[in-house]
Amino acid sequence: MLSQDPHPLGAPRAVEPRPALARLFDGRRVHRLRSRGTLFSEGGERTHLFLVVEGLAARIRHLADGTRHVVAFAEPGDLLGLTHWDAQHAETVEASWRFAYRSVPIEAAAARLRDDTDLAFDLVAEALRQNRRMEDLFVRRAHMPSHRILARFLLQLDRLMGSSPDGVLHLPMLRADIADHLGFSVETASRAFSRLRDLGLAAPLGRGDVRLVDRAGLAALAAEGASGGPFEDPLAPDDSGALTTH
């Protein structure tokens, strides 16, 4: 069961998966995993695909020297276990906040793929979406100041998690994990938080809390020409139902 959250700042924002993916997981039981619990481990046997239903989870890779690196944070609607069709997982997934998921055995998914071209298309689209999300973050790391990257990340967390009426957002992951994911050192992350405070946009409160003082100001700071981002879908259906790319 999920552990009691000391910062009940709002319900997770549900995101509908693509139609064929939704059908693949229809009727599957929803499981919950407490914070810091492991869904699967790098190098472990790959037996299931997982659809994130609620919350957030860290996707982690380990370098040859054992260094832990947070590659991404999975959100509702994300498919996990898709990284490779090999027998072993290529990453570790660790629950960050109110994490819930459905799962389907690999064999069942493979059987559906033989007769369901829509499912094959949705799996390719999901893989491309996740790849695009990471590419967008790599571009920001190279061209944006750290406090702008952090501003965008905080707004995305606020969109997914919600904050309290007075604008307090609980960060469900360690500051070191945020820094790692965004490509900073811990010291650079601290300076970025201080910069947002000095600009009157966000105020770190300690214990993993930050007050979003000026969301409009954060949005203006984070704005850039490229669309899509670490918690956004760059391959989303438009009003006609056609697949669009940004």
153-182 pLDDT, tens digit each: 999 899 888 878 888 999 988 888 999 899
Contacts of 2 (CB under 8 A, 6+ apart): 32, 33, 34, 35, 98, 99, 100
Element holding 70 (H helix, E strand): strand 68-74
In CATH, 19-140 is 2.40.30.30:
no
Is the CB of residue 231 less than 8 Å from the CB of residue 15? no
| Interatomic CA distance for residues 31 and 41, integer angstroms | 17
Residue type for 65, please? D
**CB < 8 Å & 24+ apart, contacts of 184-187:** 184/146, 184/149
Q: Measure the CA angle with vertex 22, ends 16 and 28; round to 5°.
A: 115
pTM above 0.85, yes or no: no
90-104, 125-139, 144-158, 187-201: range with lowest mean pLDDT: 125-139
| Interatomic CA distance for residues 235 and 233, integer angstroms | 5
pLDDT bucket at 222, cuts 50 / 70 / 90: confident
pLDDT bucket at 15, cuts 50 / 70 / 90: low
Q: How far is CA 146 from CA 151, 218, 221, in A?
A: 9, 13, 11
Strand partners, 100: 32, 54
| Interatomic CA distance for residues 74 and 88, integer angstroms | 19
Judged by DSSP in three states, 177 sits in helix
Task: Please give the pLDDT value at position 85.
Answer: 60
For the segment 70-91, the average pLDDT, to the nearest whole number, is 85
For the segment 33-62, the average pLDDT, to the nearest whole number, is 93
In whole numbers, what is the pLDDT of the chain averaged over residues? 81
Is the CB of residue 5 less than 8 Å from the CB of residue 106? no
Structure tokens at 40: 């699967």
Model confidence pLDDT, tens digit, residues 2-14: 333 333 333 344 4
In CATH, 145-222 is 3.40.309.10:
no
Q: What is the location of CATH 2.60.120.10 in the chain?
A: 19-140
Is the CB of residue 70 less than 8 Å from the CB of residue 180? yes
Q: What is the location of CATH 1.10.10.10 in the chain?
A: 145-222
